Amino acid sequence: MLFTVSVPLNGIGLTCLGVAVLRGGHSAAGYAMLVTGLYVFVVMAPAFAVFGAPNYPALAGWGLTWLLLGIATWVHARSARRLTLSGATP
C-alpha cells in the first residue's frame, strides 16, 4: 500500500521541482529531476499495471535516474562552490 502512495507523490514532486529548476535556468539538474519524476508515470506505472506487482527492472531503471540526479546535483554544487571561492557570484 505504501508503494502505491509514495511513488506517485515522489513523481509529482520531482516533476514540479524539475519544471521550477528549469525555469530558474539550471538545465542539467532540472532535466535530471524532470526525468526522475516523469519516469514514475512513463515507465513504472505502466509496468505495474501490466505485471500487477512491482517490476524490478523498472525499479532498477528508476534507481539509475536517481544516480543521474545525484551526479547532476554534485556537478552543479561543485561549479557553484568554485564560483563562490573565486569571488564571483553564481
Query: Which triple of cell numbers denotes residue 20?
Result: 521550477
SS3 category, 89: coil
34 burial (CB, 10 Å; 0-12 / 13-18 / 19+) is buried
State the pLDDT at residue 12.
Answer: 95
**Cell numbers 539509475: residue:** 64
Beta strands in 1-90 (DSSP E): none
| 35 or 89, which is more confident | 35
Q: What is the pLDDT of residues 30-77, one digit of tens each?
A: 899 999 999 999 999 999 899 988 889 999 999 999 999 999 989 888
